[in-house]
Amino acid sequence: MKTILTFVASLLFITNAAFAQVKWSVDPAHTNARFEVKHLGIAFVDGSFNTLSGAAETSDSSNFNQAKISFEIDVNSIDTRVDARDEHLKSDDFFNAAQYPKMTLTNGVLTKGKKGQFVLKGDLTIRDITKPVEFQVTQNNGIITDPWGKTRAGFTATTTINRMDYNIKYNDKLPSGVQAVASDVKIIVNTELVKN
């Protein structure tokens, strides 16, 4: 009987360990979400969002394969270093921040590729549109313990979306037919995760 109880206890321990989740939080002081888009067909304008949050769940403390990822960005925190442009981007021509104040990434799953490389697939919501998106992700120098004893991991994620797919409809054109603001927008997210 004692052997059976020991076996059941061991099985329960193994099962619980297998389903245990390690939780990580985005460190907003060391994370940025940036974008760049071609202007007048000749140059790029870039900007960032200054207020964001996010989280990850992994099966253990050393492996991000199959990690679950979520992210939220405050649209009103947009910053292109030009106040008038920021206000225009918040208007209905672009994000309509008054009605849609958040951009989100939900149902994100990180899948491991070659060494240090991952693919992040999830659902990106901008305005009232949700579409699947795929980021190419690089893990930057593994997992470390910082000088204050916290466990950290850093990643850089990039993708390009067509803003028109998300109802960002501004579409002024030059007499030549070139878009004043291109449809394709490159997104770069540098994030530092801290184990909870």
* Phi and psi, residue 170, nearest 5°: -55, 130
Q: Does domain 21-195 bear CATH number 3.40.50.10480?
A: no
Checking if the pLDDT of 155 tops 80, the result is yes
Q: What is the mean pLDDT of residues 99-125?
A: 96
> Cβ atoms within 10 A of the Cβ of 95, count?
23
Through-space distance between the first and last CA atoms of the chain, rounded to whole angstroms: 40
Residue 48 pairs in a beta bridge with 34, 79
Checking if the pLDDT of 43 tops 80, the result is yes
Residue 174's pLDDT band (boundaries 50, 70, 90)?
very high
The whole-number pLDDT of residue 19 equals 52
* Token pair in block for residue 166: 């998300």
